[in-house]
């Protein structure tokens, strides 16, 4: 008797494209992601470097080689601002017209079609107002202390001195500290739309403490909304959220009250768009924060869903701001001072013996210094390759979608774009990977690298977001930039990744080895982690 085939649940919502000449997989089976990963880069660069496009399509070891092509794409983008924006436009067009949106018993649509058409709104709206007192100062938790005022300024100076954040990031936070209206969100014109409101790296807690009006979108999962509920009640702002019609059973956040709350960005993106258009006050200035994160191919899907929503909202609401959190483990344009800092740290590298004796086990070490890229007009740009092979091509693809949209939105739509680099952070989504957990434990050996706790990171990133809403910030389309990619290089709190001597992709195994070699780390946490291997 033939073995019984496992029944697959059909894929709905955002789905990967099917390569030309290939039959769609049967029974709703997941579609291959590799072709789309390669093709989007090949299509994007083809009109500017045909040889690079051919090499991308011909690559047989994409999982281990993808990062090289992302770096080449960024370097090609820097040849001129026009080249960079053209690559971004072409890549986004490929995504919008090749990825599909699938509903049960309906023909598949392109993402562009799905998000452009008007869709019935299946959600009701609920609002919960916090009972807490609004905070009037910026607070940043750090190593068991709550830093504010001069203590926070001193810590910012220390991070700059070490190379953990860039000087303009310190200056941006300082500007917010000295501009009290920035911290009074209860009387501001802004409505903060958080796509992925419960995300570990989101700013829900900080925004509500400052009295913000938050429109929260997150998964229709009870645990998610219990967490959001707790933050909402304790805060000083209000949370507006979608509830499936007929799903609200109680008043307040009592047991069962959140039943029906939430929505799925991947499968209900067009419906969420309609609901958002119905609840955003017409006289407000919406700040659309893209915070949702998922593992693997789902990260690409949710990034595209958020992108479709953001595009529709920006087209309907010209006063909108797009907000992103960039990862430091990406390829970025960086200040020339950061490159010089990496060179200085390389001169003082104290681990040559480790590299020499253990390098054969872990592979060749990549230094964190690259040649500058010269544009067609003679401008020189420093670039850091912070991509980590282990994170995978889908992660790089999902984050690059946001870079592309940031560039196009600022250049073509002339909207404000807040896109700051956040530090490496000890979130559960990262440290559930044993290798990353050990590597983070030993990262401090590679100064100025520092792994931040989530509460520290979110507080800093909230401050940078508020800075970007001020006049003349780098987020404003009227602020001159040498190249649109510099949107992601200003006010960076990268956690030292830009200035370490060794590229972050080479650090992981050495950092983990140093962590494991320290007997002080041989406690219960390590035993529990090793038991999972």
Task: For 43-73, write each residue's pLDDT tens digit.
Answer: 999 999 999 999 999 999 999 999 999 999 9
Closest of 463, 125, 446 to residue 276, by C-alpha: 125
* Structure-token pair, residue 114: 């799905």
Whether pLDDT at 301 is above 60: yes
Instruction: Give residue for tokens 């960086």.
Output: 334
Whether pLDDT at 409 is above 90: yes
Q: What is the mean pLDDT of the chain?
A: 89
Rounded Cα distance between 433 and 438, Å, is 9
Instruction: Give residue for tokens 């070891």.
Output: 61
pLDDT value for 1? 46
Average pLDDT over residues 243-247: 75
Whether pLDDT at 256 is above 60: no
* φ, ψ of residue 86 in degrees (nearest 5): -60, -45
Instruction: Give residue for tokens 């609200």.
Output: 248
Average pLDDT over residues 482-496: 96
Least confident of 283-287, 403-407, 528-532: 528-532
Three-state secondary structure call for residue 23: coil
Average pLDDT over residues 232-252: 79
Kind and range of the H or E run holding 136: none
* φ, ψ of residue 385 in degrees (nearest 5): -100, 95
Show Cβ contacts of residue 117 under 8 Å, excluding neighbours closer than 6 positions: 109, 270
pTM, two decimal places: 0.92
Whether pLDDT at 5 is above 50: no
Kind and range of the H or E run holding 297: helix 297-316
Closest of 115, 82, 36 to residue 408, by C-alpha: 82
Buried b (16+ CB within 10 A) or exposed e, 124-159: bebebebeeebbeebbbebeeeebeeeebbebbeeb
Whether pLDDT at 420 is above 50: yes
Rounded Cα distance between 499 and 184, Å, is 35
Average pLDDT over residues 270-286: 94
Q: Greater confidence, 427 or 406? A: 406
Least confident of 25-29, 87-91, 337-341, 407-411: 25-29
pLDDT value for 528? 57
Q: Greater confidence, 341 or 433? A: 341
Q: CA torsion sign, 17 to 21 to 24 to 26?
A: negative
Q: Are 430 and 329 in contact (CB under 8 A)?
A: no
Kind and range of the H or E run holding 450: none
* φ, ψ of residue 233 in degrees (nearest 5): -65, -35
Q: Greater confidence, 146 or 517? A: 146
Q: Greater confidence, 508 or 175? A: 175
Show Cβ contacts of residue 446 under 8 Å, excluding neighbours closer than 6 positions: 496, 500, 501, 502, 507, 510, 511
How does residue 362 score in pLDDT terms, banded at 50, 70 and 90? low
pLDDT value for 263? 95
How does residue 444 score in pLDDT terms, banded at 50, 70 and 90? confident
Which residues are registered as beta bridge partners of 217? 195
Other CB atoms within 10 Å distance of the CB of residue 375: 16
Whether pLDDT at 455 is above 90: yes
Q: Are 48 and 85 in contact (CB under 8 A)?
A: no
Rounded Cα distance between 98 and 393, Å, is 18
Q: Greater confidence, 21 or 521? A: 21
How does residue 527 score in pLDDT terms, banded at 50, 70 and 90? low
Other CB atoms within 10 Å distance of the CB of residue 174: 17
pLDDT value for 346? 78
Whether pLDDT at 28 is above 80: no
Closest of 447, 446, 424 to residue 437, by C-alpha: 424
Note if the bond before 448 is cis, omega within 30 degrees: yes
Tell me the angle at which helices 524-531 and 434-442 cross, rounded to the nearest 10 degrees: 150
Beta strands in 163-202 (DSSP E): 190-195
* Structure-token pair, residue 231: 């933050």
Least confident of 82-86, 236-240, 338-342, 500-504: 500-504
Rounded Cα distance between 274 and 489, Å, is 33
Question: Which domains can be identified in the chain, with CATH numbers?
Answer: 30-116 (no CATH), 123-531 (3.40.50.720)
pLDDT value for 510? 74
How does residue 350 score in pLDDT terms, banded at 50, 70 and 90? low
Average pLDDT over residues 170-186: 95
């Amino acid at each position: 008797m033939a073995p019984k085939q496992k029944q697959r649940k059909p894929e709905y919502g955002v789905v990967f494209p099917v390569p030309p000449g290939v039959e769609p997989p049967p029974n709703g089976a997941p579609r291959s992601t590799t072709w789309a990963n390669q093709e989007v880069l090949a299509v994007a660069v083809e009109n500017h470097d045909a040889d690079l496009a051919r090499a991308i399509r011909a690559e047989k070891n994409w999982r281990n080689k993808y990062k090289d092509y992302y770096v080449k794409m960024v370097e090609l983008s820097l040849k001129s601002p026009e080249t960079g924006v053209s690559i971004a436009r072409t890549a986004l067009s490929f995504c919008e017209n090749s990825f599909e949106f699938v509903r049960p018993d309906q023909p598949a649509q392109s993402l562009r079609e799905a998000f452009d058409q008007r869709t019935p709104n299946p959600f009701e709206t609920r609002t919960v107002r916090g009972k807490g007192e609004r905070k009037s100062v910026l607070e940043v938790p750090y190593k068991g202390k709550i830093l504010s005022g001069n203590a926070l300024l001193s810590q910012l100076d220390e991070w700059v001195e070490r190379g953990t954040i860039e000087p303009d990031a310190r200056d941006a936070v300082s500007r917010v500290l000295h501009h009290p209206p920035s911290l009074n969100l209860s009387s501001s014109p802004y409505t903060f739309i958080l796509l992925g409101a419960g995300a570990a790296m989101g700013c829900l807690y900080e925004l509500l403490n400052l009295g913000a009006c938050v429109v929260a979108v997150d998964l229709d999962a009870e645990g998610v909304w219990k967490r959001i509920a707790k933050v909402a009640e304790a805060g000083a702002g209000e949370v507006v959220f979608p509830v499936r019609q007929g799903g609200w059973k109680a008043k307040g956040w009592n047991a069962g009250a959140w039943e029906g709350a939430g929505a799925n960005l991947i499968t209900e993106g067009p419906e969420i768009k309609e609901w958002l258009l119905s609840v955003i006050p017409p006289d407000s200035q919406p700040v659309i924060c893209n915070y949702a994160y998922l593992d693997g191919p789902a990260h690409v899907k949710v990034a595209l869903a958020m992108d479709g929503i953001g595009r529709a909202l920006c087209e309907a609401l010209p006063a909108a701001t797009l907000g992103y959190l960039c990862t430091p483990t990406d390829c970025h344009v960086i200040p020339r001072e950061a490159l010089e800092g990496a060179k200085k740290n390389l001169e003082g590298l104290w681990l040559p013996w480790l590299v020499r004796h253990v390098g054969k086990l872990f592979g060749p070490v990549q230094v964190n210094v690259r040649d500058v890229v010269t544009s067609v007009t003679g401008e020189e740009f420093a670039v850091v390759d912070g991509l980590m092979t282990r994170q995978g091509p889908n992660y790089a693809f999902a984050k690059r979608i946001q870079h592309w949209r940031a560039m196009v939105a600022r250049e073509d739509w002339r909207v404000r774009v807040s896109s700051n680099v956040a530090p490496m952070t000890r979130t559960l989504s990262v440290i559930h990977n044993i290798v990353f957990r050990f590597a983070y434990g030993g990262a401090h050996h590679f100064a100025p690298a520092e792994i931040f706790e989530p509460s520290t990171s979110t507080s800093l990133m909230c401050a940078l977001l508020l800075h970007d809403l001020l006049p003349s910030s780098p987020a404003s389309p009227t602020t001159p930039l040498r190249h649109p990619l510099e949107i992601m290089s200003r006010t960076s709190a990268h956690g030292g990744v830009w200035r370490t001597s060794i590229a972050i992709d080479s650090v992981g195994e050495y950092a983990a080895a140093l962590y494991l070699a320290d007997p002080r780390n041989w406690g219960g946490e390590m035993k529990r982690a090793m038991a999972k291997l």
